[in-house]
Amino acid sequence: MYLQHYNLSELPFSITPDTSFFMNRAGYQDALNVLTIALRSGEGFVKVTGEVGVGKTILCRKLMKSLSKDFVIAYIHNPYIKAESLLYSIADALSVKYSDKTSQHLLMKLITRALLDTHRSGKKVLVCLDEVQAMPVQTLESLRLLTNLETEKRKLLQVVLFGQPELDMLLTQPSVRQLKQRITFSYRLLPLNKVAMYAYIRHRLQIAGYNENLLFTKRACEAIYRHSNGIPRLINILCHKALICAYGEGKNKVNHKHINIAALDIEHTKTKSNSWLTSVMPNFPRWIFGSLAVFSLLISANYVHNLLGM
């Protein structure tokens, strides 16, 4: 395609959640820090929400990759999973042996035993669930019951919920109010502002092997932001299509016309983002939110440590 034309080693704007393209700025590293500290501090439930395409899945995979040495991880990517299937997935992650005839009660006992064995080995167990806003309430309740398992000092099972903003609405239902109370920390992943978007484009180009001046003109970048509202997935799609368009014309730079042509082929760019950050506070330094979150977690962890030491 256009790789050789632009001296690229790989496609820079693929929409697959490749962790090698994870950007350690613009809120993503802050979110990762919050999650890492929360989980290493023993928090039971942590929630991450964000609009469609904002980068929740790549954050989830980056988190699992960074924790893999200290944690046994079960990744549940199917939001429509039933309660019993959730138990099977957790059992598989813990290498629990069971048969088709194993009752749910017995499976719970086997999982509990495996959780205790994992705890004795010095490791923790983490369940990461994606697209939780679509998950059946019964499955969430089953997950909550599993997190009741704990020693005197820490939980035997930790959970990170990734979902769209509708997840907050789901958690207002009376049937899951106990789960909501157990969410000890939340993070809202926001769209990129203009400065972060420029850095995001440069970052992905550099990872893909582009070492020259910015491939996209200033007007092209302005058009990307206007059409994408800072949503990374839309940025990727626009940039990829625009590169194809510019390559077809034999151009070495992508201009705003190429972006506008690409936008015509993307239905989602016709709507405006309703993010309060982009509409009300577009230039507010968003690292403050993540830094404050990390700071508060460190304080609470230190407080608990001192309390237990009394």
The pLDDT assigned to 26 comes to: 67
Give percent of the chain above pLDDT 70.
85
Are 158 and 79 members of one domain? Answer: yes
Are 59 and 173 members of one domain? Answer: yes
Q: For residue 20, give both structure tokens.
A: 């090698």
- Classify residue 226: in a domain, yes or no: yes
More confident position, 244 or 308: 244
CA 177 → CA 23, 141, 181, distances in Å? Answer: 35, 10, 6
Is the CB of residue 136 less than 8 Å from the CB of residue 86?
Answer: no
Write the pLDDT tens digit of every residue in 228-239.
Answer: 999 999 999 999
Domain that holds residue 44: 27-191
For the CA atoms of the chain, what is the radius of gyration?
A: 22
Q: 45-49, 198-202, 258-262, 263-267: lowest mean pLDDT where? A: 263-267
pLDDT band at residue 266 using 50, 70 and 90 as cut-offs:
confident
Are 186 and 201 members of one domain? Answer: no
Are 122 and 209 members of one domain? Answer: no
- Classify residue 115: in a domain, yes or no: yes
Are 180 and 126 members of one domain? Answer: yes
Q: 56-60, 229-233, 246-250, 273-277: lowest mean pLDDT where? A: 273-277
Query: Does 269 have pLDDT greater than 80?
Result: no
Are 179 and 55 members of one domain? Answer: yes
- Classify residue 18: in a domain, yes or no: no
Query: Does 257 have pLDDT greater than 90?
Result: yes
Task: Give the residue from 191, 216, 245 where a domain finishes.
Answer: 191
Domain count, the chain: 2
- Classify residue 227: in a domain, yes or no: yes
Q: Tell me the mean pLDDT in the region 154-172.
A: 92
The pLDDT assigned to 288 comes to: 38
Task: Give the residue from 191, 213, 241 where a domain finishes.
Answer: 191
Task: Give the residue from 161, 191, 221 where a domain finishes.
Answer: 191
Highest mean pLDDT among 195-199, 282-286, 302-306: 195-199
Q: What is the pTM of this model?
A: 0.81
- Classify residue 111: in a domain, yes or no: yes
| Backbone region of residue 27 per phi and psi (left: phi > 0; alpha: psi in -120 to 50; beta: other values) | left
CA 225 → CA 57, 189, 219, 270, distances in Å? Answer: 21, 17, 10, 13
pLDDT band at residue 293 using 50, 70 and 90 as cut-offs:
very low
CA 70 → CA 55, 104, 123, 259, distances in Å? Answer: 24, 28, 5, 44
Nearest one of 165, 185, 168 to 176, comparing CA atoms = 168
- Output the DSSP codes for 113-171: HHHHHHHHTT-EEEEEESSGGGS-HHHHHHHHHHTT-B-SSSBS-EEEEEE-THHHHHT
CA distance 205 to 123: 37
Query: Does 16 have pLDDT greater than 50?
Result: yes
The pLDDT assigned to 268 comes to: 57
- Quote the DSSP letter at residue 272: -
Are 167 and 232 members of one domain? Answer: no
CA distance 179 to 209: 45
Spatial neighbors of 137 by CB under 8 A, at least 6 apart, are 170, 173, 175, 176
Are 155 and 140 members of one domain? Answer: yes
Is the CB of residue 39 less than 8 Å from the CB of residue 155?
Answer: no
- Classify residue 124: in a domain, yes or no: yes
Are 103 and 201 members of one domain? Answer: no
Write the pLDDT tens digit of every residue in 133-149.
Answer: 999 988 988 888 888 87
- Classify residue 66: in a domain, yes or no: yes
Query: Does 58 have pLDDT greater than 50?
Result: yes
User: What CATH number should be reported for the domain holding residue 226?
Assistant: 1.10.8.60
Q: Tell me the mean pLDDT in the region 294-308.
A: 43
More confident position, 140 or 150: 140
Q: What's the mean pLDDT when you consider all of the chain? A: 84
More confident position, 70 or 1: 70
Are 109 and 216 members of one domain? Answer: no
Are 182 and 51 members of one domain? Answer: yes
Locate the DSSP E strands across the chain: 45-50, 71-76, 124-129, 158-163, 183-189
- Classify residue 263: in a domain, yes or no: yes
Q: Tell me the mean pLDDT in the region 177-204.
A: 92
pLDDT band at residue 270 using 50, 70 and 90 as cut-offs:
low
Are 106 and 246 members of one domain? Answer: no
Count CB atoms within 10 A of the CB of residue 114: 20
User: What CATH number should be reported for the domain holding residue 44?
Assistant: 3.40.50.300
pLDDT band at residue 241 using 50, 70 and 90 as cut-offs:
very high
pLDDT band at residue 105 using 50, 70 and 90 as cut-offs:
confident
The pLDDT assigned to 303 comes to: 38
CA distance 305 to 294: 16
